[in-house]
Amino acid sequence: MALHETRFPGESDEYRRARDELLLGELELRRQVEAVAAQRRALPLGGALAADYTFDEWDAAVGKVRHVRFAELFAAGKDSLVVYSFMFKPGDAGVPLEVPCPLCTSIIDGIDGAVPHITQRINFVVVTKAPIESFSAHARARGWRHARLLSSAGTSFNSDYQVESGDADQYAMVTVFVRRGDTIHHFWSSEAWFMPPEPGQNPRHVDFMWPLWAVLDRTQEGRGTDWWPTLTYRS
């Protein structure tokens, strides 16, 4: 029995049968996505915030760095905070300046325009361990206009919330916090990063906020296994 009556030009019966079978899989995936989302929403509160960290933020109005406490990232009436941890490769003798991660850049390229919508409901920030001056310069070069950018330099935020390794190598991670009264709790982190990926896949732990892959996955070519976004492309 057909799942719906809509048909596209020139499609064969073979195509329609295969497409209906795929559609059943897509509908089941949608149910599973919502079931997992409901399970996530039902999580008990995690631990209280380890410290009221002081982050750096570039104040463009006065042209200098200002300091903002973690608790100040919660706007009135918005009790959830999503933190995206952005990677920079630390500078060394051969590369004196920090190098922004192309993959993290691709993520924020895609989500920056959605921030005004996101922040209607929740708080959202992007945090890096690199100096805020470097981060702000990169943002200007990319044309980001909406995402709130902060630096965790000089704090233990990255190590406390498992977004860097013991040798200070940084991870792309999403960490969610929730405020209850005067206390801020850890709620959820993209912990799939710490699990072995499926064969032939990467961890995909931050794919939910990365539009690039959602589009490529709908094509016959798919996302592939050997292509990654870069900071620039040859025409």
CATH code, 169: 3.40.30.10
Are residues 132 and 150 in contact, defined by beta-carbon separation less than 8 angstroms? Answer: yes
Q: Are residues 76 and 172 in the same domain?
A: yes
Q: Which pTM does this prediction carry?
A: 0.93
Task: Please give the pLDDT value at position 234.
Answer: 85
Q: Is residue 3 part of a domain?
A: no
Q: Which of 45, 40, 37, 47 is nearest to 161 (CA)?
A: 47
Q: How far is the CA of 27 from the CAs of 32, 41, 63, 220, in angstroms?
A: 9, 21, 51, 20
* Domain termination site, one of 152, 176, 191: 191
Are residues 26 and 98 in contact, defined by beta-carbon separation less than 8 angstroms? Answer: no
Q: Is residue 164 part of a domain?
A: yes
Task: Please give the pLDDT value at position 94.
Answer: 54
Task: Please give the pLDDT value at position 146.
Answer: 97
Task: Please give the pLDDT value at position 130.
Answer: 92
Q: Are residues 114 and 68 in the same domain?
A: yes
Amino acid symbol at 91:
G
Q: Are residues 17 and 69 in the same domain?
A: no
Task: Please give the pLDDT value at position 224.
Answer: 87
- The residues near 233 (Cβ < 8 Å, ≥ 6 apart) are none
Q: Is residue 158 part of a domain?
A: yes
Are residues 97 and 82 in contact, defined by beta-carbon separation less than 8 angstroms? Answer: no
Q: Are residues 112 and 148 in the same domain?
A: yes
Q: Is residue 68 part of a domain?
A: yes
Task: Please give the pLDDT value at position 90.
Answer: 65
Q: Is residue 70 part of a domain?
A: yes
Task: Please give the pLDDT value at position 51.
Answer: 97
Q: Are residues 22 and 94 in the same domain?
A: no
Q: Which of 153, 175, 171, 210 is nearest to 83 (CA)?
A: 175
The two counts, helices (H) then strands (E), for the chain are 6, 9
Cα 225 to chain centroid distance, Å, stands at 21
Segments in the chain below pLDDT 50:
96
| Residue 93 structural domain | 54-191
Q: Are residues 129 and 20 in the same domain?
A: no
Q: Is residue 232 part of a domain?
A: no
Structure tokens at 4: 């719906």
Assign 73 to helix, strand or coil: helix
Q: Are residues 63 and 162 in the same domain?
A: yes
Q: Are residues 135 and 169 in the same domain?
A: yes
Are residues 23 and 3 in contact, defined by beta-carbon separation less than 8 angstroms? Answer: yes
Number of domains in the chain: 2
Structure tokens at 198: 């499926």
Q: Are residues 143 and 114 in the same domain?
A: yes
Q: Is residue 217 part of a domain?
A: no
Which ranges of 42-171 would DSSP assign to H, the alpha helix? 102-111, 115-118, 132-142, 157-160
Q: Is residue 196 part of a domain?
A: no
| Edge-first strand listing for the sheet containing 148-151 | 64-69, 54-59, 148-151, 123-128, 80-86, 173-180, 183-189
Are residues 92 and 110 in contact, defined by beta-carbon separation less than 8 angstroms? Answer: no
Cα–Cα dist 19/13, whole Å? 10
Q: Partners of 164 in the beta sheet?
A: 170
Are residues 80 and 176 in contact, defined by beta-carbon separation less than 8 angstroms? Answer: yes
